[in-house]
Structure 1
Amino acid sequence: MNVLPGILHSETFTHKAVIPHDGLTRLLEKVYAAKGWDFRDYKRSTLSRRLSKLLHSSRVSSCKEYSRILDHDPSEYNRLFSAFTIKVSEFFREPEVFDVIEKVLRDEFSGAPAKAWCCGCAYGEEAYSLGILFSEQMSRKVLSESRIFATDIDCEALEQARRAVYREEAVQNVPRGLREKYLMPSDGLHRVGAGLRGTVRFGTLDIVQNHSIRGVNILLCRNLFIYFNKALQEKVFQKLDYALKEGGILVMGKAEVLPGPYADRYTPVVRGLNVYRKNR
């Protein structure tokens, strides 16, 4: 997908202040009108916490003051966007989840092409991890016919994903053999090899406002729903459900739950990992 002192004189800013609801609402409307970024149905507690830190670092004491900064320096919108969409990822994050995906690929797609979608791909670590599994489990012909799409709302994150250069801590879960095969040392960092880069197609997509990809066999959307309120979760999940083929695999974050109206359409592949198969 990932803070406001207020507008009234009584809304004195402190780093841990509770952000007034109306102040946050006005700011979110301003952002939507100016940039088209729709955070209005994101969880207010998360946005308030992140905006509070941003205001603190900007040395302003109210939403009104921060709004003036946005007016005088439009580049500040990018800083606000980054604060709202903090990304935490790494290759093979929660390896046991990728063990399940690997088994699905080995059992069901070793001889047949697959279409995968990483929704909210951040800096690309998850998508490249999936690319490694595709490369390991599929023949060259099947791999050439398969597709991995990786989308995010954040254009800067996508540019970093396309550059495909990572620090050591991002690749610590990659086994040595796979590291040597798919990653190249580069000035103390790790660069994804051209072959693996070619398995992933990155693109900008705001899942809140845009249509979803269609005909997907494996869909990863992890730790995005935790930022949405219940109504937005159901709205977005409707798009994911539409994207995923019957029998397809859905991977969500461990702290996330299937929206109630869709719970009977999915069966856990392995309980406790939030990996599901779509029944219908």
Structure 2
Amino acid sequence: MLSNFPNSLDDASRDHLRADCDNCFGLCCVALRFLASDGFPTDKEAGQPCVNLQNDFRCGVHESLRTRGLKGCSTFDCFGAGQKVSQVSFSGHDWQQTPDSGKPMFEVFHILMQLQELLWYLTEALTLPQAGLIHGPLRSMLEKTERLTTLSPESLMELDVAEHRASVNTLLLKTSELVRSEARKTQQVRSGPRTRTRLERQIALGRGADLMGADLRRTDLTGASLRGAYLIAADLRGTDLRGTDCIGADFRDADVRGADLSQSLFLTQTQLNAAKGDALTKLPPWLNRPAHWS
């Protein structure tokens, strides 16, 4: 039931899944490709250092990213991959001092970002009592994924990440089904049987749904699947998103003012950073309210 969601999480278990820029070699500012369409003022090719990256690997305009049109930077989160690549995979040797390490370091960063993101989802899944029946397989998969993140750079570059993601996704889908089913039951008990509105019948929910600019304020999204949905500039004001699977959903400029995201499933800081919220937006306790929200 929705009331069975944990009120808090052990933050220590997520510390290694949060970006620690002080122990990273500015990898997101170099390894990633920037596109103007993704919230950057200009395009930048992967492997090319951002013009704002300083010699100490700090951003020279960090305090004014959004006002300078660098919205993509202000929303980004590497799930702790930056410091792991810098300090573990490459033992603290940066790409400036050892130029030959640059290309493999950037490639490993892309791989570690995916693995660290999977760890974020698996960690959350293990806190959910609704998924108790599969906590054993979830724990085993989390431990396996953790081991993969500590492989040598050479081994990581040979890793079939897509295959591993597919294995993890099987468990995450099962987790989602268990949580969403319980959320829908709780909603029915709380509100009683209801008939879907005409608007809801017209809206195609589910994986990859195109909901760009959609007015979803009157749509019952409790326990829905919004996996990979395009929610760009969607109106979600006051919407109940408890028990809703948000994995991979694009929340860029989605209006979540007053929405209840407190028990949304697989929500990330990047998604919140990309959205528009306010003081009335309810959040999970393990995520931070973005500073630019009203």
TM-score normalised by L of structure 2: 0.30
Larger relative contact order (Cα-Cα within 8 Å, sequence gap ≥ 6): 1
TM-score normalised by L of structure 1: 0.31
